Chains A and B, each alone.
Chain A
């Protein structure tokens, strides 16, 4: 982690730590670094910091390093860490909060494809009320510039009757749209 002025960082980023605790509802200060979460994390091998280290860095107020980490975008939300944490910390939930904070802070570089995927996914849900796979794939490929991604699965999926060329639109689309719009407003506040 290099040289680091602990007390200074703590003070400067106190509000960030408090915010993460509040948003996630998880008291990360309870972490006693047993590293059980990291031991079972299926993504740890591809992370720059394993989950337990993220927890420590959070407690130390290392806002930028945490939000710029690859870890938060590798995390698959499998909840193994949450299941095993002996201090009852919902680490998977903390990871959700960190992804949201990273987007708010504009640190989206390492999460570019994940964010594009989530946007494309939720975009079809907002429009139709349900996921539309083909629409998701096209939108995602357009936004990442990788037009042929997963194209090899398209035809077999169609042949097996597993892909629908048109979306199913639910009756309550306007209700769903309203949920999206209102939550966005509330987040803005």
Chain B
């Protein structure tokens, strides 16, 4: 049984409850075990790295050190922003002993680097699990056109990650979507920034970037934009109505998490996957696959 240390991050039981619900439902079906890191803290996100580099290393390092108390070799974080912080710590501290000492002097429990940071997408997109998913499909998503939106931080900058998906045209989520019977549409905005880090401070920029993404997805014929990041998801889903008002458009583009789509295909009830938690109604896309 695959087993990982699990870092929910601050959004998985708040702004992204449906990501958490669907992740755990799908994991149960596939026999994947997620052990939550005990007493985890916030990774500091962009606010920490904008403010103080050492703080931005020490906050995630405390979490990685706590993960070392679990019987696991790898840690996953479903949030792209958290994931990139962990990968960054691993990258920097494995190359700089001095810095590692300095960071450890700030922690109660030292970080050794024993538990490696793994991409949450890879938990599902590795060939073995992909095969298992494909064989467990109860309700094929055939006919559903999906724009896979990776956002920035699951793939950029590639040097800090220990896997090799293409940062300009990643494939992990596309492969998952294909295994579910759905069709990932070719589109050029897979890793274009949605501006979420400015959502509260510069709405103009954020709205423009969201509009670009939604428009290109619509033009590509997508029924939904599927994401792997709670920050992007909230931005594209909850703020979609502001985008539509500002640009006089009507996208009504559902923005589910990829784990919700896996769950649908595995035959899990849409309610249990948190589809009702989405702001833009997913009813049409659910009808298309016979799940509503």
Contacts of B195 in A (CB 8 A): 42-43, 76
Contact at B59–A179, with CB atoms within 8 Å?
A: yes
User: Is residue A1 within 8 Å, beta carbon to beta carbon, of the partner chain?
Assistant: no
Contacts of A100 in B (CB 8 A): 50-53
User: Is residue B219 within 8 Å, beta carbon to beta carbon, of the partner chain?
Assistant: no
Contact at A183–B106, with CB atoms within 8 Å?
A: yes
Q: Shortest CB–CB separation between residue B114 and chain A, in angstroms?
A: 19
A 110-133 binary contact with B (CB < 8 Å = 1; else 0):
000110111001100100011101
Contact at B192–A170, with CB atoms within 8 Å?
A: no
A 148-179 binary contact with B (CB < 8 Å = 1; else 0):
01100100110011111000001110011011
Q: A130-B41, A133-B14, A179-B62 are in contact. Are A156 and B193 (CB under 8 A)?
A: no
**Apart from A42-B192, A96-B53, A125-B48: 6 A-B pairs, beta carbons within 8 A:** A42-B193, A74-B202, A79-B157, A114-B201, A122-B47, A133-B15
Contacts of B156 in A (CB 8 A): 78-80, 82-83
Contacts of B46 in A (CB 8 A): 77, 118
Total chain A interface residues with beta-carbon distance under 8 A: 55
**Whole-angstrom CA separation of A130 from B253 in the bound complex:** 31
User: Is residue A32 within 8 Å, beta carbon to beta carbon, of the partner chain?
Assistant: no
B 195-227 binary contact with A (CB < 8 Å = 1; else 0):
111101110110001000000000000000000
Q: Shortest CB–CB separation between residue A31 and chain B, in angstroms?
A: 16
Q: A113-B202, A121-B45, A170-B41 are in contact. Are A79 and B51 (CB under 8 A)?
A: no
**Whole-angstrom CA separation of A180 from B106 in the bound complex:** 9
Total chain B interface residues with beta-carbon distance under 8 A: 55
Contact at B54–A172, with CB atoms within 8 Å?
A: no
Contacts of B198 in A (CB 8 A): 74, 76, 114
Q: In residues 1-34 of chain B, which contact A (Cβ within 8 Å)?
A: 10, 13-17
Contact at B39–A171, with CB atoms within 8 Å?
A: yes
Q: Choose from A74, A131, A149 the contact partner of B42 (Cβ within 8 Å).
A: A131
Q: Choose from A43, A114, A131 the contact partner of B50 (Cβ within 8 Å).
A: A114
User: Is residue A92 within 8 Å, beta carbon to beta carbon, of the partner chain?
Assistant: yes
Contacts of B124 in A (CB 8 A): none
Q: Shortest CB–CB separation between residue A89 and chain B, in angstroms?
A: 11
**Whole-angstrom CA separation of A146 from B234 in the bound complex:** 21
Q: Shortest CB–CB separation between residue B238 and chain A, in angstroms?
A: 6
Q: Shortest CB–CB separation between residue A39 and chain B, in angstroms?
A: 13
Contacts of A131 in B (CB 8 A): 10, 42, 45
Chain B residue at minimal CB-CB distance from A184: B52
Chain B residue at minimal CB-CB distance from A175: B108
Contact at B197–A76, with CB atoms within 8 Å?
A: yes
Q: A76-B195, A118-B50, A118-B51 are in contact. Are A176 and B59 (CB under 8 A)?
A: yes
Contacts of A97 in B (CB 8 A): 53
Contacts of B277 in A (CB 8 A): 160-162
Q: In residues 106-150 of chain B, which contact A (Cβ within 8 Å)?
A: 106-108
Q: A96-B53, A121-B45, A122-B51 are in contact. Are A82 and B157 (CB under 8 A)?
A: yes
**Whole-angstrom CA separation of A160 from B276 in the bound complex:** 8
Contact at A183–B205, with CB atoms within 8 Å?
A: no
User: Is residue B173 within 8 Å, beta carbon to beta carbon, of the partner chain?
Assistant: no
User: Is residue A19 within 8 Å, beta carbon to beta carbon, of the partner chain?
Assistant: no
Q: A79-B157, A80-B193, A117-B47 are in contact. Are A162 and B17 (CB under 8 A)?
A: yes
Contacts of B106 in A (CB 8 A): 178-179, 182-183
Q: Shortest CB–CB separation between residue B209 and chain A, in angstroms?
A: 6
Chain A residue at minimal CB-CB distance from B59: A179
User: Is residue B152 within 8 Å, beta carbon to beta carbon, of the partner chain?
Assistant: yes
User: Is residue A187 within 8 Å, beta carbon to beta carbon, of the partner chain?
Assistant: yes
Contact at A129–B42, with CB atoms within 8 Å?
A: yes
User: Is residue B49 within 8 Å, beta carbon to beta carbon, of the partner chain?
Assistant: yes
**Whole-angstrom CA separation of A180 from B201 in the bound complex:** 24
